[in-house]
Structure 1
Amino acid sequence: MESIRTRNPEAALSSLEAAATSARGGFGCLFSTAAEFESALIIERRAQGRYGSPRSRWPLLMFAGCAMMLVGTVLLFR
């Protein structure tokens, strides 16, 4: 049993192209470039406070610990 589409491939192709064109029309985007999207995303995230500087003491504690180990090693082999 043959379908109508197999008998007329040009009509099937044009029908498929028309369906694809109408489907693409439904996915409109507010931004014309990726740079506009990324800048809007960064502005929104800054407004939410996501890019605030972290107030962690971890790097300072690591530095103090390494400095104390270095001083201890120097005093041990002196």
Structure 2
Amino acid sequence: MESTRRQSPQAALMKLEAAAASARGGFACLFSTADEYETALITERRAQGHYTQDRDYWSFALFVGCALIIVGTVLLLA
């Protein structure tokens, strides 16, 4: 490794500025707007399967059961 005493002050300053710019780049955001972030987030979650609709047969069975009870009550009282 080179000693800082052997470098010119200008070269040391340039190296320090490059290191600072590199460090700041690590904190930069990949998205320029919140909409871009949300779009990327939703796309990633869809790829993971978070927004798939599961077939819920219980709600259909409950509806059919209630309809049969109502029809049975109407026929019983008629």
Same fold judged by TM-score > 0.5?
yes
**Who is 1:44 aligned against?**
44
**CA distance in 1 between partners of 2:38 and 2:51 (Å):** 14
May I ask how many residue pairs the two structures share in their alignment?
54
**Who is 1:29 aligned against?**
29
Identity %: 59
Shift of 1:30: 1.3
**SS of the residue aligned with 1:54?**
coil
Structure 1: where are the runs of 5+ without partners? 1-24
**Who is 2:6 aligned against?**
none
RMSD in angstroms over aligned alpha carbons? Answer: 1.7
Shift of 1:28: 2.9
Q: TM-score, normalised by structure 2?
A: 0.60
**CA distance in 2 between partners of 1:28 and 1:77 (Å):** 72
Structure 2: where are the runs of 5+ without partners? 1-23
Describe the superposition over 1:25-51 as per-residue Cα deviations: whole angstroms up to 9, x where unpaired. 685321111110110001100110111
**Who is 1:58 aligned against?**
58
**Who is 1:72 aligned against?**
72
